[in-house]
Amino acid sequence: MVPRLRFPPSPTGPIHVGNMHTAVFCWALSRALKGDFILRIEDTDAARNTPEATQLIFDALNWLGLDWDEGPDIGGDFGPYVQSERRPFHQRTIEKLVDEGHAYYGDDPANPATPSGNPLRLRMPRAGETTLHDAIRGEIRFENGRNQDPIIVRSNGDPLYHLATVTDDHDMGITHVVRGEDWIPSAPIHIQLHKAMGWDEPVWVHLPLILNRQGQKLKKRDPEGGYLIRDFQAAGYLPQALFNYLLLLGWTPDNAQEIVDKWDVRQQFRLERLSPSPSTFDWDKLNWMNRQYMQRFSHEKLAELLRPYLEDVYDELPLQNEWLVRLTAVIRESLNKLEDAVDAAEWAFADNFELTPGAQEALHGESARPVLTRLVAELAHVVLLDEATAQSILQGLRNGFKESDGWQPTAIFHPIRAALTGQTGGPPLAEIMAILGKNRTLQRIANALRL
C-alpha cells in the first residue's frame, strides 16, 4: 500500500508556525516514505470558517515550498477534500454506529432518545484499557473506567471533529496520522471509533509541541505575538530558512547537520529519528539560520529582496539598482532578516538621524572640529568620491593627526562616523562615504560642525 498522509487545517483564522510544523513533518514523512501528501480542509466549525482563512492556508503552504498530491485545488481520487462536502460519508458512519449499538442519541445510554433534537454519543468501554500505539512514544495506555461517552454529532445533525476526521481518514485511505501531542487525550475516542466501525487504525504519530518563551504551547493568538506565518513573511524571514528550522524541532538529521534541504529530507527523514520532547522556539537559532540562507544570495539578488522593505519606509532617494547593490554589500553582514535593512541602512537615507550617546560624546571631543574641518578641506578637491578615494583621504587623516597631535584612530574616525551616521560603530567608513557621495557627506559634516 502506498503511504498516504494528510494535513487537515481548519480555516478559522491566520495559520501559525505550530500548524506549519505539523505540515512540514507530515510532508517530510510522506516524501521520505515515497507516499502521497494530501491537503484536506476541515471546516466543521461553520461559525468561524472564512474563505480568507482558507486562502491563507494555501498561501502559507506554497510560500514554505510544500507541494501536495491531492487537495481541494487539484482534486484526486478520494475527494471531496473539503470536510463539509463529505456529509454523505459521515452519514453512513453515523447510521452504522447507531444500527450496531455503538452510539446512542440523548444522554442516557440505557434509554436512547430519538434522533430529533438530541446529540449522538459514542459508547465507550468502561472496563479494561485502550492502548495507543504511537510511533514516537511507544504504548500509551488509558483506563477505560475513566471514559465519558463523547458527543460525536450535534443535536442539529452536524458531525463533530472526532467522527468526521476518523471517517475521512478511513475513506481516503490515510495510513499515517501526523498531529500534535495535544491530540493524545482524544486518541481513545478515535481508536474506539475505529474499533466500532471495524476499521484498521493508521500509524499514529504525535509530534512534540512547540513552546513560546514562556513555556506555553503556541497558538494563533499567542500573547507573545510574532508566531503567525504572515508575521514571519512581514519580517523578511526566508521560507527556506523557516522550513529548515522547523524540521529541526523534533528531528535529528545525519551527523547532526543543521542546514538541510528537501533532498536531505527525502533521504534521511525517519520515524525512529523523531523526538518526543517539546521544543522551545529559539529566535536566535532561527536568525542564525536565516543568515546562512541570505549569505547564499548574490549582492544583486539580496538587493532585490531588500528593495520593498526600504521603499516602504524611505522615499527621499530613488533606489537605483547599482546604488542599492552597493548599499546591500555594505549592510548585509548585519542582517538577521530582510526587515533589519530598514534600521541597518538608515544612515544611507535619513539626514536627520538621532545621535547615540557615544556619537554625541565623539562630536564634542577635542578632536572632532579639527578632524571634520580637515575632512571638508580634503573633499573640496575631490570630483568623484568613490571607496578608494575615501580610503586614501581617511588614511591621510589618520597619519597626519597621529603625527601632529598623537591622536589614536578612534579620536579621528569616531567623530567622522558620528557625523555621517549618528553612531560610532557600523560598516567601514570608506564604504559609507562612497555610498553617501561627496555632496551628502559634506552636508552631514556641515550639520555636525553646527552642533
pLDDT in tens, 163-179: 999 999 999 999 999 99
Q: Are 193 and 166 in contact (CB under 8 A)?
A: yes
Whether 317 and 278 share a structural domain: no
Q: Rg of the chain's alpha carbons, rounded to an integer?
A: 31
Whether 249 and 119 share a structural domain: yes
The pLDDT of residue 317 is above 60: no
Q: What is the pLDDT of residue 239?
A: 97
pLDDT in tens, 121-156: 999 999 999 999 999 999 999 999 999 999 999 999
Count of structural domains, the chain: 3
Task: Give the range with max mean pLDDT: 52-56, 261-265, 296-300, 319-323.
Answer: 296-300
Whether 57 and 112 share a structural domain: yes
3-state secondary structure labels for all residues of 153-196: ECCCCCECHHHHHHHHHHHCCCCEEEEEHHHHHHHHHHHHHHHH
**Alpha helices (H) in 78-119, listed in sequence order:** 87-99
Q: What is the pLDDT of residue 263?
A: 87
Sheet with 176-180: strands ordered across: 36-39, 4-7, 176-180, 203-207, 129-134, 138-143
Whether 374 and 291 share a structural domain: no
Give the residue numbers spanning the domain of 393: 357-449
Q: What is the pTM of this model?
A: 0.91
The pLDDT of residue 213 is above 80: yes
388 Cβ contact list (under 8 Å, min separation 6) = 430
Between CA 448 and CA 451 the distance in angstroms is 6
CATH assignment of the domain containing 376: 1.10.10.350
Judge whether 220 lies within some domain. yes
DSSP label at residue 316: S
> CA-CA-CA-CA torsion for 33, 38, 39, 44, nearest 10 degrees?
-120
The pLDDT of residue 49 is above 90: no
pLDDT in tens, 408-423: 999 999 999 999 999 9
pLDDT in tens, 366-398: 999 999 999 999 999 899 999 999 999 999 999
Whether 206 and 228 share a structural domain: yes
Element spanning 37, H or E: strand 36-39
The residue annotated as part of the active site, out of 220, 301, 337, 438, is 220
Whether 210 and 104 share a structural domain: yes
The pLDDT of residue 316 is above 70: no
Which of 307, 339, 371 is the last residue in one of the domains?
339
Give the cell for residue 43: 471546516
Give the cell for residue 92: 453512513
Judge whether 385 lies within some domain. yes
For β-strands 103-105 and 120-122, DSSP reports them as antiparallel
The length of the chain in residues reads 451
Whether 311 and 288 share a structural domain: no
Q: Backbone phi, then psi, for 39, in 5-degree steps?
A: -105, 120
Among residues 349, 331, 333, 352, the alpha carbon closest in space to that of 341 is found at 331
Tell me whether residue 220 is one of the annotated catalytic residues.
Answer: yes
CATH assignment of the domain containing 247: 3.40.50.620
Whether 291 and 324 share a structural domain: no
Judge whether 347 lies within some domain. no
Select the more confidently predicted residue: 293 or 268. 293
Q: What is the pLDDT of residue 261?
A: 85
Between CA 326 and CA 331 the distance in angstroms is 9
pLDDT band, residue 99 (cuts 50/70/90): very high
Whether 305 and 286 share a structural domain: no
